[in-house]
Structure 1
Amino acid sequence: MKSAVENLSPTRAKLTVEVPFEELKPSLDAAYKKIAQQINIPGFRRGKVPPMVIDRQVGRGTVLDEAINEVLPQKYIEALQANDLQPLAQPDIEVTKFEDNETLEFTAEVDVKPTIELPSYEGIEAEVEDVTVADDDVDEQVKALRERFATLTDVERPAADGDFVVLDLKAVKDGEVVEGAEVSGMSYQVGRGGMVEGLDEALVGLSAGEDKTFSSELVGGDQVGEAVEIQVSISQVQEQELPDYDDEFAQLASEFDTIEELSADVRERLGRGKRLEQAAAARDAVLEVLLEKVSVPLPESMVTDELNARRQNIEQQLGQAGISMEKYLEDEEQTVEEFEADLDRRVRDAVAAQFILDEIAKKEELGVDQQELSGHLVRRAQQSGQDPQEFANHMFEHNHIPEMVQEILRGKALAAIVETAVVKDASGNVVELKNLRPDGTIGEPEPEVEAPAAEADEAAEVVEADEAAEESDEAPAQS
C-alpha cells in the first residue's frame, strides 16, 4: 500500500491511498464466505457455494463492493499511522479508481490535529484579584444562619416582601387547569423567586383569604413557555422572626460560646472559600496567558459542534430553571449578538487549550494510573449529582473512558504549568496555590477511592491502551 498526504489547511488533510489488488484478497475471500452464508443455491449447501457460482448468480461487482467496504477502514487507519496524522472526526472517503484485478485508489479528507509550536510555558506570570472578606459578606452568612433558626408567626395584615404565605396555585389555559400545574397548601417566602414569573408581585398586598389572577408563562412540563392564567390564593400570612444574634444563639447554632468566636469562624470559612476561588482564577489566568503566547489553528467543524453543544446545554439549564433565554439575556444585560460573540470566544479558547495541553502532556510524557482515573470518575459523578458506581458503569459501557483519561492528562498538564507560574494578587502578593490538585482541579486533597470492582482491571487496561493510542480515529473530548 502507498499513501500520500496533502495539507488542505493547517487542520484538514487529504490522504490519497493506493492498494494493490493482491492486498484485497483476504477481504475478497471473506466477502465470498459471507455471501455464501446468505444465499440459497440449489445443489449447494448454505455456506459451500463456490466463488464462480456466486459470481454468476450474485455478480462479481457485489463481491467486490463487499470487499472494499471491509478493507477501506483498515487501509485508512494504516495510512493515518504511516503519515502520523491524528484525526478529529470521521473522514470523507471517496473511491477514485477501482477495476477488477486492478489497484484500488481512494481519497480521505479529514480534520486533523494542528501542528503547534509550543512556547516556553515555565515561569508564566499572571495576576488575580485580592482575597477580601467584607463585613457585608459575614453579615449575609450570619443572617442565613439565623434564618435557619427563625420562627414564623401568623399576622393579620397584607403580605409583604420577606413574609411567608401558605398558598394554593393553579395554571389555567383555555378555561382548563393545566395538568401538573397545580399546588395547594404550599409555604412560600414572598420575594424568593424560582416559581412562575409575576408571582411575587401578585402576592404583595394580599391578605389571608384573598386571591388574585395574573398572566404568566409555564416554566416546566410539556407546555413550557406557553401563556397561561395563574390563579393564586393565600390562607395564611406569616412573619419571620429572627433570633437575636447573641452568645445564647452562638451556643445554640454552633460549637462556639460567643458571637465573636462564631463571627470569626464564619469569616475564616468565607476566606477559605474565596481562596479556593482565587486558586481557580489563578489557574485560569495562567492558561489565558499561555493562550496569548501561541496561535492555534482551529478546525471550524469542531468549533461549530462545540458551539452547538454548549448552546443546547445552556438552553436546557435555563429551561430546567424556568428561565427563558430572553429573560437570561436581560438579567445578564447582554444582546443576542453579544451573547453569541462571548460564547464563540470561550469555545475557541477552550478548543485551543485542549490542543495545547494535549501537546504539553505528550511532551512531558504524562500518564494516568488507575487511582487517578477512579478519583476523576468520582468527582465527575459528584458534579453531575449521580451515584459514582452508576456513573462509572455508564462510562465503561459507552466507551467514554478514553475521554476521561484525556481530561485527566490535560488537567495534569495544566497543573504542571501552574506549579512553575508566578501568580500575584492585585496588591502584589504571591498567591499560594496549595489547593491545586495534581490533575488541575481545585479543592482539598481527596481520600483514596477505588474503581468499581467489576471494572477495576478493565480500567487499568484502558489507561494503558489509551496512552499508546495516539493515532486513534476518535475526536478529542470536549471540555
Structure 2
Amino acid sequence: MKIEKELLEDHQIRLHVEFEVEPFEKAKHLAARKIAKKVKVPGFRPGKAPYNVIVRQVGEAAVVEEAMDGFIDEVYPQMLKEAEIRPYGPGSLEKVIGLEPPIFDFLVPLEPQVELGDYKALEIAYETPEIGEDEVDEQIEELRQQQAVTETSTEPATEGNRVFYSVSANRAEVEEGQETEIFPVRFNSLIIEAEGENQNQWPFPGFSANLKGMSIEEEKDIIYTYPEDHEDENLQSVEAIFHATVTNIQKVSLPEIDDEFAKTASDFDTLEELIADIKENLGKQKQNEYDSDYNDLVLNTLVEESTVKFPPQMLEDEKKDMLSNLEYRLSQQGINFDLYLQIRNMTKEDLEAEVAPLAEERVKRGLVLAEVAKAENLQIDPQQLAAEAGRTMEIVTRGMSPKDTKEFQKSDYLSSLVNSIMADMMTRKSMNYLRAVAKGDPLPEEETEESDTAEAQETPEAEATPEETLAPQTPEEVPTLEAEETPEEETSASVEESAEAETESE
C-alpha cells in the first residue's frame, strides 16, 4: 500500500492510502457471499449464487458497501503499522477517493504528546498558614447563633434581629439580547449586622443594612451596582433593582461566652477547651486548603511551562466523563438532570460549553502528571494497590447479594476499576514528587498506604469542585459545574463514586 501523511493542527493525522486491488476484490467476493445468504436468487440455493449473479441482482454499490467494513477492519492495523502511527483511539474513514484501485482518506487521532518543562527546577515558596483570632471569634459566634433563643418581633428590624425576607432582582437597564430578570423571587433570612461586618451576605455584601428599619410585610426597592470584577461575568458593572419584602422579624438572645456556654454548645467543660479545639480544627482545615491550593499552583505552573498536545476526541471523552459524573451525583441527591438544567437556566449545549475549559484543564494536568510518573519511573506498590482496591470493592459491593457480588468480581468492569485506582495512586505519587521538588524538601520515599491516602486529600483532584455537594447553601448558590466536579486526576472517592454509578447502570 502507498501512504501519504498530513499532520493536522488538532493533533490528528490524515492518511491518504492507496491499497492493492486484490485484497479489496477478495473482500467484495466475501461480501457477495454474505448477501447471497440473505437474498433470494432464482435458480440458486441460499448462499450459492456466484459473484457476478449477486452483482446483477443487488448492484455493485451494495456489494461494495458490504465489503467496506470487512476490508477496512482487515487493512487498518497494517496501515497504522506501516505509517508508524500510535493512535489515541479509533480513526474514521473520511473520504473514498476511488475504488480501482481503492484509495481512501482516513482521519486518525494521535496519541497525546507531552514535552515537560523543567520540573526539577520548580521552586515555589511554601508558607504554613496561621490562625487568626478573628477566625476563632467567628466560629464562636456561629455556635452562639446556634444556641440563640428567638422570639417574633412586631417592631421595625434593628441591628441583631434575624430578618426573613423574599427578594427578586431585575436589571435596571436592559440591552438587546439580555433578559430583564437576574433571578426570580427567593426566600432567605439573615442577621442585621453592624456596618463593616456584613460582607458575606446574600444577595450582595451589606444587604442587611437595607432591611434595617423595615417592618413585617413592608416592601422596598434597593438599587445596587455589581463590581467590575464580580465572579459572574454577566453581572459585572450591572445596575440591579432588588425588590425585597420582609416576611418575619425575630429578636435574637445570644448566650454569654463562658464555661456554661461551652458545656451547652460542645462536649467540653470549659471555654478554654472549646477554643483549643476550634483552633485545632481550623488549623487542620486551613492546612488542607492551603496544601490543595499549593498543589494547584505547582501543577498549573508546570502545565504552563510544558507543551501538551492531544486530539479533540480526548477532550470529548473527558467532557462525557465529567457530565456523566455530574448526572450521577445529581441522581444521588434526587435531582433530575433536566431539572438541574432548568435551575441553571441553560441548555445541555450551554453546559457542554461550560464544561469544555474545565475538561481541557483536566486533560492537560492529567497528561503532565502521567508524564512525570513516566520520566521518574514511579511505581505502585502491589500491596498498596490490593489494599486500596479491596476498600473500594467493599464500598462498591455494599448492599449487593452474594450472587451479585460474585458476578461483579468476574465482570470486565472489575479490571477497569483496578486500573482506575492504579492511575489514581500514580497521580498522587506524581503530585507528591512535584510538591517535594517545589518546596525544596527531600524527594519522597515509597509512601506507606496511610501516607498515600492522606496525600489524596491534598492533591488537586481532591478540590473536587464539580463533584462535591450540589445542594445550595444560600439562595444564590444554584449548583454550577464548578461546584461539583474538578479538573485533574481522580481521587479514591471519585473512583468509588464512578464505580457505584457504573454498577447502578448495569
Report which stretch shifted further, 57-66 or 435-444. Answer: 435-444
The change in CA–CA distance for 1:352 and 1:93 in structure 2 (over 3 A counts) is: same
The change in CA–CA distance for 1:124 and 1:403 in structure 2 (over 3 A counts) is: same
Report which stretch shifted further, 5-14 or 258-267. Answer: 5-14
SS of the residue corresponding to residue 125 of structure 1 reads: coil
Q: Which has the higher contact order (CA 8 A, sep 6+)?
A: 1
Partner residue in 2 for 1:221:
none
RMSD of Structure 2 on Structure 1 (CA): 5.8
Corresponding pairs, count: 396
Structure 1 residue corresponding to 2:124, chosen from 123, 126, 129: 126
Partner residue in 1 for 2:142:
144
Q: CA deviation at 1:59?
A: 1.2
Q: CA deviation at 1:44?
A: 5.2
Structure 1 residue corresponding to 2:366, chosen from 354, 372, 385: 354
Partner residue in 2 for 1:207:
215
Give the distance between the partners of 1:195 and 1:34, measured in 2 at CA. Answer: 68
The change in CA–CA distance for 1:30 and 1:372 in structure 2 (over 3 A counts) is: farther
Partner residue in 2 for 1:56:
56
Partner residue in 1 for 2:281:
269
Q: CA deviation at 1:116?
A: 3.8
Report which stretch shifted further, 32-41 or 241-250. Answer: 32-41
Give the distance between the partners of 1:85 and 1:67, measured in 2 at CA. Answer: 26
SS of the residue corresponding to residue 107 of structure 2 reads: strand
The change in CA–CA distance for 1:80 and 1:281 in structure 2 (over 3 A counts) is: farther
The change in CA–CA distance for 1:28 and 1:436 in structure 2 (over 3 A counts) is: farther
Give the distance between the partners of 2:374 and 2:128, measured in 1 at CA. Answer: 35
Partner residue in 1 for 2:196:
none
Give the distance between the partners of 2:78 and 2:453, measured in 1 at CA. Answer: 36
The change in CA–CA distance for 1:263 and 1:440 in structure 2 (over 3 A counts) is: closer
The change in CA–CA distance for 1:197 and 1:12 in structure 2 (over 3 A counts) is: same
SS of the residue corresponding to residue 421 of structure 1 reads: helix
The change in CA–CA distance for 1:49 and 1:306 in structure 2 (over 3 A counts) is: same
Given that 1:408 and 1:439 are in contact with CA atoms closer than 8 Å, whether structure 2 keeps it comes out as: no
Q: CA deviation at 1:308?
A: 12
Partner residue in 2 for 1:189:
190
TM-score (norm 2): 0.58
Partner residue in 1 for 2:255:
243
Percent of pairs identical after alignment?
Answer: 26
Structure 1 residue corresponding to 2:427, chosen from 407, 411, 431: 411
Report which stretch shifted further, 47-56 or 295-304. Answer: 295-304
Given that 2:113 and 2:310 are in contact with CA atoms closer than 8 Å, whether structure 1 keeps it comes out as: no
Partner residue in 2 for 1:87:
88
Give the distance between the partners of 1:106 and 1:439, measured in 2 at CA. Answer: 53
- In structure 2, list runs of 5 or more residues that go unmatched: 170-183, 193-199, 224-234, 327-337, 347-353, 397-404, 463-490
Given that 1:159 and 1:203 are in contact with CA atoms closer than 8 Å, whether structure 2 keeps it comes out as: yes
SS of the residue corresponding to residue 127 of structure 1 reads: coil
Alignment of 1:92-111 (within 5 A): 93-99=94-100, 102=101, 104-111=102-109
SS of the residue corresponding to residue 15 of structure 1 reads: strand
The change in CA–CA distance for 1:261 and 1:233 in structure 2 (over 3 A counts) is: closer
TM-score (norm 1): 0.61
Give the distance between the partners of 2:360 and 2:265, measured in 1 at CA. Answer: 48
Alignment of 1:258-407 (within 5 A): 258-291=270-303, 293-297=305-309, 350-363=362-375, 364=377, 366=379, 369=385, 372=388, 404=420
SS of the residue corresponding to residue 256 of structure 1 reads: coil
Give the distance between the partners of 1:161 and 1:86, measured in 2 at CA. Answer: 66
Structure 2 residue corresponding to 1:254, chosen from 252, 259, 266: 266
SS of the residue corresponding to residue 126 of structure 1 reads: coil
The change in CA–CA distance for 1:125 and 1:201 in structure 2 (over 3 A counts) is: closer
Partner residue in 2 for 1:65:
65
Q: CA deviation at 1:152?
A: 1.0
- In structure 1, list runs of 5 or more residues that go unmatched: 172-180, 217-224, 325-339, 381-388, 457-479
Partner residue in 2 for 1:442:
457
Given that 1:18 and 1:105 are in contact with CA atoms closer than 8 Å, whether structure 2 keeps it comes out as: yes
Q: CA deviation at 1:55?
A: 0.9
Structure 1 residue corresponding to 2:153, chosen from 139, 152, 155: 155
SS of the residue corresponding to residue 86 of structure 1 reads: coil
Given that 1:153 and 1:238 are in contact with CA atoms closer than 8 Å, whether structure 2 keeps it comes out as: yes
Partner residue in 2 for 1:383:
none
Give the distance between the partners of 2:455 and 2:417, measured in 1 at CA. Answer: 18
